[in-house]
Amino acid sequence: MLNYPTITAVETFIVDLPTIRPHKLSMATMMHQTMVVIKIRSSDGVVGWGESTTIGGMSYGPESPESIQLTIDRYIAPLIIGKEAANINSVMKTINKNVQGNTFAKAGIETALLDAQGKRLGVSVAELLGGSVNEKLPVLWTLASGDTDKDIEEAQHLTTINRHNTFKLKIGSNEPKKDVAHVVAIKKALGSDIRITVDINQAWSESTARTWITELQENGIDLIEQPIVKTNFDGLARLTDFFHVPIMADEAVATTGDAMKLCKIRGGSVFAVKIMKSGGLYNAGNIAAMADASDVSLYGGTMLEGTIGSVAAAHVFSTFPNLEWGTELFGPMLLTDDIVVNPIIYKDCALEVPKGPGLGIEIDEDKLNHFKRK
């Protein structure tokens, strides 16, 4: 009789890593990034690592780092200890049956299980998912100082050294007229060859969006992300139909159910896929498949994860046959330090997807212990 490895322990650590500068969103300003790092041990000695990360405490969604850790420690870990470590589908079915929502926590668990299984078989997570279509993924950078001249200077420097050629601007915390003037000035300074994405983070009403997206469109902005509240699916469809500049659903397309509804009504011409909000890599792939079948373009999103979460996302994004709008997996570049031995390689406006077994990264446990909350 075969002896299948079982899950023997699940550990979680809240890690606070400082950022290189304040990162402004419409709902919060981040001074550091907090992530929940997950370590899963199995009876065959294999260890898998995962990460669950949100932004702005609880200003983005219903899960916080503290609630993620509690959910995993008290509810998920007891469910899965003793389960077959290699049967990821069965483990996740058990979790989904007994734990509602909590997609960020689930994504971290699934990542750790995939990392372990890749190590067990000697293949990468991307290979477990069918293999990479692209081994290098375009990565944009967010200009988030809030100062127009500083943002222009930063963008010009990054394009000169060939680190990024696409930039995102987070707006919505100021009056629309001020925000739009800021965006337009940066677009004019950088020129038509540089892509500019504007993320409004749900800050506008539908009528406000109609007024100000018109000006953004007329001034050559390339992509408009989640301009209105995520629950207004019909409004997103109306804006998509009204404008020729692409409208991207982000917070609105959290789950596979959301994706199905939005595909039916054409609520967005682009979907931002994120492993955290979808509940893991498999669900991210399911959303991508629905989008592809509905002629909706894809964008690889981020919750500003550290290296573990960013690499996990990179592995699944690399399997997408069509990733027209690239990715924003720059989270590790925003941090002043890391908890891995082998950081992601960023070069020529892209990241290289690690090829080693599992996630292809090694955790520096001394650094982990240094930065974890005591």
Q: Give the pLDDT confidence of 145-167 residue by residue, as tens digits.
A: 889 999 999 999 999 999 999 99
Report yes or no on 85 lying in a domain.
yes
Do residues 136 and 277 both lie within one domain?
Answer: yes
Q: Is residue 38 part of a domain?
A: yes
pTM given for the model: 0.95
Residue-averaged pLDDT of the chain: 95
Sheet arrangement for strand 7-24 = 7-24, 29-42, 47-53
The residue-averaged pLDDT of 89-105 equals: 97
Q: What CATH number does the domain containing 247 carry?
A: 3.20.20.120
20-26 average pLDDT score: 64
For residue 228, which amino acid is it? I
Same domain membership, residue 283 and residue 173: yes
pLDDT at 28: 57
Question: Considering the domain boundaries, does residue 357 fall inside one?
Answer: no
3-state helix, strand, coil in the chain (%, to 5): 40, 25, 35
Work out the percent of the chain whose per-residue pLDDT is above 70. 96
Residue 3, pLDDT > 90, answer no
The larger pLDDT score, comparing residue 349 to residue 24, is at 349
Average pLDDT over residues 196-217: 97
Domain co-membership, 94 together with 222: no
Position 31 pLDDT exceeds 80:
no
Whether residues 152 and 299 share a domain: the answer is yes
How much of the chain, in percent, has pLDDT values that exceed 90?
Answer: 92
91 and 167 inside one domain? no
Q: What pLDDT, on a 0 to 100 scale, did the predictor assign at position 23?
A: 60
Give dist(CA 218, CA 221) in Å, integer.
8
Answer yes or no: is pLDDT of 250 > 50: yes
On whether both 142 and 107 belong to a single domain, the answer is no
For residue 212, pLDDT over 80 is answered with yes
Q: What is the DSSP string of 240-295?
A: HHH-SS-EEESTT--SHHHHHHHHHHT--SEEEE-HHHHTSHHHHHHHHHHHHHTT
1 found inside a domain: no
Rounded Cα distance between 93 and 107, Å, is: 13
* pLDDT reading at 22 higher than 70: no
| Residue 373, pLDDT above cutoff 50 | yes
pLDDT band at residue 61 under the 50/70/90 scheme:
confident
Supply the DSSP symbol for 75.
Answer: I
* Active-site pick, 24, 170, 187, 274: 170
Does 358 fall in a domain? no
Q: What is the pLDDT of residue 146?
A: 87
Domain membership flag for residue 19: yes
Q: Are residues 113 and 140 in the same domain?
A: no
Q: Which of 13, 1, 11, 77 has its CA nearest to residue 369?
A: 13
Among 58-72, 82-96, 116-130, the least confident range: 58-72
**359 found inside a domain:** no
Residues of the domain holding 111: 7-122+365-371
pLDDT 10s digits, 304-325: 999 999 999 999 999 999 999 9
pLDDT at 24: 59
**274 among known catalytic residues:** no
By mean pLDDT, which of 16-20, 185-189, 198-202 is the weakest?
Answer: 16-20
Number of domains in the chain: 2
Average pLDDT over residues 349-355: 97
Same-domain status, 116 and 46: yes
12 or 25, higher pLDDT: 12
Q: Give the amino acid at 124.
A: S
At 1, the pLDDT band (50, 70, 90 cuts) reads very low
